[in-house]
Amino acid sequence: MYKYTIDSGYTIQGNNKLNGSVNISGSKNASLPLMVASILTDEDVVLNNIPNLLDVQVLIRILSKLGKDISYENDRMVIKSNGDLCSEAPYELVKKMRGSIIVLGPLLAKRKCCKVSYPGGCAFGPRPIDLHIKGIEALGASVNMEGGYINAEATSLVGTTMNLSGEFGPTVLGTDNIMMAATLASGKTIIEGAASEPECTDLANMLVQMGAKISGIGTNRLEIDGVSKLGGIEYTVIPDRIEAGTYLAMAASSRSKITLNSVCSTHLEKVISLLKDMGCVIETSENSILIDASKNELKPFNVETLPYPEFPTDLQSIFTALATSINGVSEIKESVFPDRFTHIAELNRMGSDIKLHETTIIINGGKPMTGADVQASDLRAGAALLVAAVVAKGISNVHRIYHIERGYEKMETKMRSIGVNIVKKEDDIL
């Protein structure tokens, strides 16, 4: 695993015009739950198209600590059981990745008890887990929090009907957690207010192929009939729609023409229709997207982040950066994470005119942007800085790129391959 100094960074010479094509990697947010689903079976799980990312490496360490044997070469991962699973996910590992909370449901289903470090907050807010806890309690587990750990146990898990939607809508990882636990519960579990993101659908599809009985997949109401055991599987993870959306935004902001390959355009319908409304020409085929932003003058836009199939919160910061390149006022309302705005101050250091009114970002676009030293405060905020740096005048140094490399595979190699003048500072890697 890479180690980063505090000054790790990409240096980007701005004013780039992009061209050529880029291959989209497997989805980070789908890979993590698919890897965790291996806890539910004693048989082998083989996963293809898994991106080599810091988050994936952290989860390999967590699953190894729990007792799985994992080999990972190119994009193929083989997860084997190695006797009884340990039921404790320790703080040293969980603190590195908030998403590790999804081991809770499967560990509880398989071991009937588990101890998982409380994941804590992150750069965009407190990130509560009350809905995860509500779900496992509804299945019959008793839960207590002590010393920073969630301790859960149950003599058996029993299916029931629950609503997992909270103040900000459905929970993606909460749905994954409870869906996995319910596959091995006795009787029927109905999850109302379930998340229907493509990553949840991917997990449900894989669980069904392992022998789970799930209906309503891809909707906000999942019905799971518990089974006594799940079997092994070989499965291929879906393409990363957020990585794809990032490269689309980069092409649009630099008024370029590029093609994305190994991508699923149906997962990006809202994003593609927004880009078309702005004036981008987009052609899609089964697994590619061509974007040409050089033909028309781009228009400012208004959009609100909401659960799938609406515009994703994970592209909010990235489209904020895109809006800075478009003359006129664009507005983006953040309705999933009400604190996800750390990128604004950094973008304004580069010359943009962005204001926040409650949870609406108001971008007065078209101001001249200049390269600067800026810091990634989280994964997508970091990606937004790259989108801005690609078109800014002069040199940008983007620091704390370990946030970016948590979620983007071969970022600087891919950006360079489509014409961005970018280097990773060699002496930043220890």
Pairing of strands 188-192, 161-163: parallel
Closest to ligand UD1 by CB, 337 vs 353, is 337
Catalytic, 122? Answer yes
Closest to ligand UD1 by CB, 265 vs 313, is 313
Instruction: Please tell me what DSSP assigns to residue 41.
Output: -
Size of the site for ligand UD1 (CB under 6 A): 22
Residue burial 244-253, b: 16+ Cβ < 10 Å; e: rest: bbbbbbbbbb
Taking the C-alpha atoms of residue 85 and residue 68, their distance in angstroms, rounded to an integer, is 7
- The residue from 86, 114, 122, 264 that is catalytic is 122
Closest to ligand UD1 by CB, 120 vs 187, is 120
Residue burial 170-209, b: 16+ Cβ < 10 Å; e: rest: bbbbbbbbbbbbbbbbeeebbbebbbbbbbbbbbbbbbbe
Interface of this chain with ligand UD1, residues 139 to 178, rule: CB under 6 A: 166-168, 171-174
Closest to ligand UD1 by CB, 336 vs 385, is 336
Q: Report in angstroms how near the CB of residue 79 gets to ligand UD1 at its nearest.
A: 18
Contact between 248 and 289 (Cβ < 8 Å): yes
Q: Report in angstroms how near the CB of residue 40 gets to ligand UD1 at its nearest.
A: 18
Helical pair 198-209 and 28-36, crossing angle rounded to 10 deg:
30
Taking the C-alpha atoms of residue 364 and residue 300, their distance in angstroms, rounded to an integer, is 9
Taking the C-alpha atoms of residue 390 and residue 318, their distance in angstroms, rounded to an integer, is 12
Interface of this chain with ligand UD1, residues 267 to 286, rule: CB under 6 A: none
Neighbours of 418 (CB within 10 A): 22
Taking the C-alpha atoms of residue 245 and residue 256, their distance in angstroms, rounded to an integer, is 15
**Is residue 314 a contact residue for ligand UD1 (CB under 6 A)?**
yes
Q: Report in angstroms how near the CB of residue 133 gets to ligand UD1 at its nearest.
A: 7
Interface of this chain with ligand UD1, residues 99 to 118, rule: CB under 6 A: 99
Q: Computed from CA positions of residues 326, 336, 127, 238, in that sequence, does the dihedral angle turn out positive or negative? A: negative
CA-closest candidate to residue 207, choices 66, 86, 45: 45
Q: Report in angstroms how near the CB of residue 337 gets to ligand UD1 at its nearest.
A: 5
**Is residue 313 a contact residue for ligand UD1 (CB under 6 A)?**
yes
Spell out, one character per residue from 182 to 221, where the chain touches ligand UD1: x when CB under 6 A holds, - when not.
-------------x---x----------------------
Q: Which of 132, 255, 267, 399 binds ligand UD1 (CB under 6 A)?
A: 132
Q: Report in angstroms how near the CB of residue 351 gets to ligand UD1 at its nearest.
A: 28
Residue burial 96-135, b: 16+ Cβ < 10 Å; e: rest: bbbbbbbbbbbbbbbbbebbbbebeebbbeeeebebbbbb
Q: Which of 32, 62, 289, 376 binds ligand UD1 (CB under 6 A)?
A: 32
Q: Report in angstroms how near the CB of residue 336 gets to ligand UD1 at its nearest.
A: 5
Is the bond into 309 cis (omega within 30 degrees of 0)? yes
**Is residue 129 a contact residue for ligand UD1 (CB under 6 A)?**
yes
**Is residue 131 a contact residue for ligand UD1 (CB under 6 A)?**
yes
Closest to ligand UD1 by CB, 58 vs 129, is 129
Residue ranges binding ligand UD1 (CB under 6 A): 29, 32, 99, 127-132, 166-168, 171-174, 195, 199, 313-314, 336-337
Instruction: Give the active site residues.
Output: 122
